[in-house]
Amino acid sequence: MFFLKKNLEYFIYMFFNSIDFAVFFPIVFVLYWFFSKNLTKRNLLILGASYLFYGWWDWRFLVLILISSLVDFIIGIKLYESTSKKQKNIYLIISLFVNLGLLVYFKYTNFFIETFVESFIFFGKKIDNISLNIILPVGISFYTFQTLSYSIDIYRNQLKPTKNWLAFFSFVSFFPQLVAGPIERASHLLPQFYKTYKFNYKLVKSGLLLIVFGLFKKMVIADRAALYVNEVYNNVDGYTGVEYFYATVFFAVQIYCDFSGYSDIAIGVARTMGFDLMKNFDSPYFSKSLTEFWRRWHISLSTWFRDYVFIPLGGSRKGKMKTYFNLFIVFVISGLWHGAAITFIIWGAIHGLILIVEKASLKFKNKIFKRIHLDKNSHFIKLFFSLLTFFIVCLAWVFFRANSLADAVIIIDGIFNQFNLGDVFLKETYLIGFKPNEFRVLIGSITILIMVELLHKKYSLVKRLNAHGIVFRWFIYFLMVFVIIIFGKYGDEIIKEFIYFQF
């Protein structure tokens, strides 16, 4: 399922946690502020740096970004100038055809071929499986959605097009968020390419702190958790219930720290240059329902699907049953967006079905609370529903991470039918894939993360830190870097790329 790993064996990519980026970013940062007062030179630098950043993986796929940028730049102007609905529809269809056509070809061609072949097997006939050697361009799903939203917003008369090609091309390819988001709207990010910024020490420091925190999530937690997850999920026949349980919980931790870590670094890098990117995660595992979870998880994607799929389908305007149907369709599409496999579709369908159940039972649940005199705002109730939501999310993660549907079924069956509580604390169980003390470091790091997120909900930790003296502040800064250097995972035993690079 994690097909990009095979592709990356043949290419070098500039990961945020790589030496290449550690050299690339300081150079871009210095040049950026050197040219900051000249808007044209500054945007040229951003565009060149972004193309270099993406082309470091495979320069040929720069052609795809150029096509998407050029098509939607022209289409945007044509849409705005068009006087008839028919013309507007034609131009929008062209934008959709080009962008989604490229996405479908590179991401779903082999999936459709395999599905076609398997459908013949279902009817008792067998034909040779044909698989094309298509390499998935990193981040194509992200920049495709970003540029598509620009055309759709103009079509809806919610946005005026830009005639500044340099600003628009820079907006589409902005390197901090190019390959894994946040998926920005033109109304928010594009205007930021029209103005210059003055160097702001507090803003730069804030951005650097976010980068360090993101690297802590990725290198100390996510990459360490991956050792256990990969060992169990890639060898499902060798383990039983409690190992599946640990691996699934650790994957929930891994994917959150990996993806939110990427988002933190992206937002931090952009902030050091004066740019503001939208918040993409808001402590999602503290959610008390799946509805709340999707307000806090991958916010840029969930709001994109809401605005460009759910609402055009009719949203919640045409009755309950139509609303539930639209909701289910959106999450099935979301699953397919994440990957060309039946497991991703099932993952999306599970979320869609649970969300429907939540919405349908909301009034009934409130009546039950009233009848038995339970305070739904009590700490006990909040904790119960948070744990229940986390459990549901983890079960869905099984399908997201499993290498096949058969593997997912084995893991689900193992968790429910082979789980032995007595094995939870056995060394042979929790040290799978770990060297001595690795488990303790992982649990300690997760505990620190939970404490930080709980405290951050009450007040800004950055403001609290700034209230202390310079000696204490710099001690904390060096301590954070020291922890990453000492406890970060390095070497060939980990996969360095961020999980969402494959989407």
Catalytic positions:
338
Which DSSP symbol is given to 255?
Answer: H
The answer to whether 135 and 7 are in contact (CB under 8 A) is yes
Phi, psi for 18 (deg, rounded to 5)? -110, 160
497: alpha, beta or left? (left if phi > 0; alpha if psi -120 to 50) = beta
The answer to whether 5 and 11 are in contact (CB under 8 A) is no
437: alpha, beta or left? (left if phi > 0; alpha if psi -120 to 50) = left
String of DSSP letters for 5-61: HHHHTTS----TTSHHHHHHHHHHHHHHHHSTT-HHHHHHHHHHHHHHHHHHHHGGG
Residue 481: name the closest of 220, 250, 293, 275 by CA.
220
**Which residues, including other chains, have CB under 8 Å from residue 379's CB and lie 6 or more apart?**
none
Helix, coil or strand: residue 190? helix
195: alpha, beta or left? (left if phi > 0; alpha if psi -120 to 50) = beta
**Which residues, including other chains, have CB under 8 Å from residue 169's CB and lie 6 or more apart?**
47, 69, 73
362: number of Cβ within 10 Å: 12
Distances (CA, A) of 460 to 182, 364, 457, 464, 476: 22, 37, 8, 6, 16
Cβ-in-10-Å burial (0-12, 13-18, 19+) of 231 comes to: middle
